[in-house]
Structure formats: structure tokens, C-alpha cells
Amino acid sequence: MKRWFLLTLALVLLLTACGGKTVPPPPEEENAPPADAPPPMPETPAKPVDPEEAALQALLNGLSLEEKVGQLFFVKVPAENALEDVTAYHLGGYLLFSKDTKDLTANELIQKIASWQAETADSGIPLLIGADEEGGTTARISSNPHIRSKRFSSPGKLWRQGELEAVKEEAREKAILLKAIGVNVNLAPVADVSTNPADFMYDRTTGGDETTAAAFVGAVLEVQTRYGLGSVMKHFPGYGNNRDTHNGAAVDERSLDTFWNQDFVPFQSGIDFGNRHPLGPAVLVSHNIVKCMDPDLPASLSPEVHRVLRDELGFDGVVMTDDLAMGAVSAYAADGNAAVMSLQAGNDLVVTTDYRAQIPRVIAAVEEGELPESVIDTACLRVLRWKLELGLLELTEEWKLVSTVIPWG
């Protein structure tokens, strides 16, 4: 009996000890999803403060020195190896002249341009395809009767026929035609002021004063921008009554006040237009020696002329040289470093024929410390930004820039 009592007491004590408290379950892991929850979705990259600028900087950072330098060359189409050179020299763009369109139908020219663009598939950075389609004496595309039955009219003729309305109507036809064949930059309008029929530049202008020239520039920019066609105002700081610089230098003796009161007016109008629109014009700088700004160097090679354009007129877009193969430059770049000098002066795009010699010289100048790589970066960023504004690049949902050009073939 005593033994049974002790066993019963022990059992009661055991049950009391075990049953007095509930054993808690093991703690759950922090942030653990429910057992039946779907797998987490991949995170979307956070939107940068300025997505476009961040994407442009990322694109720039991914380019080699050779690729960045190549983007700064807007060159004449070579007679041979045009396809191969797109990738061999990482070119920024091709400029069409009459020889490049001669005897071609519109469809043949479309295919030719598209084949060049197809070569950019690996880099993902399309080419600028430019042409001087001013009308009148300078009409690289419409001078081909297979493409247009009649070349476009000169600015002066249009102005005399119907002023702004005539200018806008023909600018619309130009923009539609150029975009249709694959040209994305028209090296126009001519923003020079010339009222003397004896002037070299007269036939390429309206023939009116600075107010007329400014109105003409504004009308052309308005239409070309509406159609997504790049514009290039030329020839800064204003050609005036100077001689042809294709074969030698021209020296402009006029005062700085004359430039402010006359020549700068159309350019300032175009710069102000660009500040109000997402697609702004570029500016092409002449080879004239403008003594009131720089008595020693052609404008295209002059840091002071570029300072005036940037700091005094407030232009922050793409600046390009006139053709560096022209005779006015050769005497000032006897060592063959015209492209290096033009970039040191402040140009973003180098227009030239001998890019096969000039590109290696620019690369060497950077590697040897003669030309800071930061100069190349600044210029290249402007060129890439212009390509984005032209719709050649677009921003994806992942905040990356990709080509919008569909390769032909």
C-alpha cells in the first residue's frame, strides 16, 4: 500500500511539472515568407534622379578611348571601305555629298544608308547621317533627279516668293524627304547675314538683314525639329562678306560690335529656340579669321571664338567644325594635327575627309597627355546626348540606352 502511494505521488508530481506550462513553438525567422507565398519578383532598378543623364554617363563610361574618339568624327563618306570603317574607326557619322547620291534611286540610297547603320549593331550607337540640303546652289540630295525632280530652292528665292510661309512649306518637304531616306541631320539653316549680291555667301542666305535672317532661322528650326530632323546653324560667328575659305584663309576685319548687332542675332535666335525645345540645333564654326576675337587662328581652331559662343551666347549644344580639309586650315595645322587643335578649341564634332590619319593622332594626343581625356569625354557626352534627342537612342525601363535603328538586311 505504501509502495503504491509513493508511485501515485511521483506520477502526480511529474504531470504537474509537464503540464503546468505550454512549450512554446520554435521562433519564426525574421522576414520569412509564408509557406504558400509565391517566389519574390526581381527588383526593378531604382529610378535615377535624372534617368537620361545617368544612362548617358553609363554609356560613356562603357566606351574605350578609341570608341569615344571615333564618336567625335562626322566624316565624308570614303570612296572605299565605307562599311568596314564604321566599326574599324567607331565613327560618329557620315556626311553625304552629291557624289554619294549620284545616279542612285531613292530606294538604292535608302539601302546604302541602312547598310551603314547595320554596322553599328554591335556598338548600339547609330550613326549621324548628314547632308547639306540648304537648297539652291547647295543641295546634296535634291540635286539628284532620281530622288527629286527639281532641286529645292535657295533661301533667298523662297523668301522673295512667300517669306515665312514659303520657307516653312519647303522645309517641311525637305524634312519628310530626308527622314524617309535615312538622313537624320540637315546641315542647315545658313544663319549668315549677307545683303550684298557680290558676297560669296549671298546666294546661300535670304539676302536680308539680321532680322530677316533670324526669322528665317526660326522658321527652319521649327519645322525640322517638328519632324525630328537635326539642324545645324552655320557659319558661326557669321560669314559676312568674306571670301571662299575652301582654297585659302579669309580675314574678317569687322568690329565686335558689328557681330553683336548683326551676325550674332540669327544665331542667338536659334540658341534661344533650342533652349525651349528638347531637340536643339548644333552650330558649325567657320574657318574665317575673325580679328576682333582671335587675330591668329581660324574660328574653327580658336578657343576664344568657342568661349564667346558658349559663355557669351549661352550655347550648350553640339559644336562642329567646317570641313578641316579646306585650304583655310592647312596653314595653321602644318603638323597634321587639325583635329587635335579643333578639339582643344572646344569643338565636339570634327568634320573631315582624312579621318584615317586624324583619329590615331587624337588618340595619341590623349595617351601622351597633350589632350586631356576629360575633353574627349565632354565632347562625346554632348554627341551621345544629341543622338538621344534625335531619337537614335532611347531609354528602356531598366534605365539603359539602346539603339532605335533597325538594321537593314
Q: What 3-state DSSP class applies to 163?
A: helix
Residue 34 confidence (pLDDT):
57
Residues of the chain above pLDDT 70, percent: 86
Please check whether residue 380 is in contact with residue 390, taking contact to mean a CB–CB distance below 8 angstroms: no
Average pLDDT for residues 18-22, to the nearest whole number?
42
Residue 39 confidence (pLDDT):
64
pLDDT at 71 over 90: yes
pLDDT at 121 over 90: yes
Q: What is the 3-state secondary structure (H, E, C) of 69-107?
A: HHCCEEEECCCCCHHHHHHHCCCCEEEECHHHHCCCCHH
Distances from the Cα of 186 to the Cα of 127, 376, 387, angstroms:
14, 24, 14
Residue 240 confidence (pLDDT):
83
Most confident of 87-96, 244-253, 332-341: 87-96
pLDDT band at 37 (very low <50, low <70, confident <90, very high): low
Task: Provide the 10 A C-beta neighbour count for residue 118.
Answer: 15
In a domain? residue 31: no
Q: What 3-state DSSP class applies to 62?
A: coil
Give the chain's domain count.
1
Please check whether residue 340 is in contact with residue 376, taking contact to mean a CB–CB distance below 8 angstroms: no
Q: How many CA atoms lie within 13 A of 239 on its CB side?
A: 27
In a domain? residue 274: yes
Residue 14 confidence (pLDDT):
37
pLDDT at 60 over 50: yes
Distances from the Cα of 70 to the Cα of 118, 165, 182, 233, angstroms:
17, 40, 21, 23
**What mean pLDDT value characterizes the chain?**
90
Q: What 3-state DSSP class applies to 383?
A: helix
Average pLDDT for residues 356-374, to the nearest whole number?
97
Q: Give the β-pairing of 393-395 and 401-403.
A: antiparallel
CATH number at residue 221: 3.20.20.300
Helices and strands in the chain: count of H runs, count of E runs: 15, 14
* Alpha carbons 201 and 187: distance in angstroms, whole number: 15
* Alpha carbons 153 and 137: distance in angstroms, whole number: 9
Domain assignment of residue 202, given as a range: 51-403
Instruction: Output 184 or 12, whichever has higher pLDDT.
Output: 184
What tens digit of pLDDT does each residue of 215-256 get? 999 999 999 999 999 999 999 999 988 766 666 678 999 999
pLDDT at 371 over 90: yes
pLDDT at 362 over 80: yes
Phi, psi of 73, rounded to the nearest 5 degrees: -115, 120
Residue 312 confidence (pLDDT):
98
Residue 327 confidence (pLDDT):
79
pLDDT at 407 over 70: no
In a domain? residue 43: no
pLDDT band at 30 (very low <50, low <70, confident <90, very high): low
In a domain? residue 163: yes
pLDDT at 195 over 50: yes
Residue 164, classified by CB atoms within 10 Å of its CB into exposed (0-12), middle (13-18) or buried (19+), is middle
Q: Please spell the DSSP secondary structure of 279-331, one letter per residue.
A: SPPEEEE---EETTT-SSS-GGG-HHHHHIIIIIS---S-EEES-TTSHHHHT
Average pLDDT for residues 279-306, to the nearest whole number?
97
In a domain? residue 229: yes
Q: At residue 310, what is the residue type? A: R
pLDDT at 28 over 70: no
Q: What 3-state DSSP class applies to 65?
A: helix
In a domain? residue 384: yes
In a domain? residue 107: yes
Residue 23 confidence (pLDDT):
43
- Report angle CA 308, 311, 315 to the nearest 5 degrees: 90
Selection from 186, 188, 290, 306 nearest residue 241 by Cα: 290
In a domain? residue 25: no
Average pLDDT for residues 96-121, to the nearest whole number?
97
pLDDT band at 326 (very low <50, low <70, confident <90, very high): confident
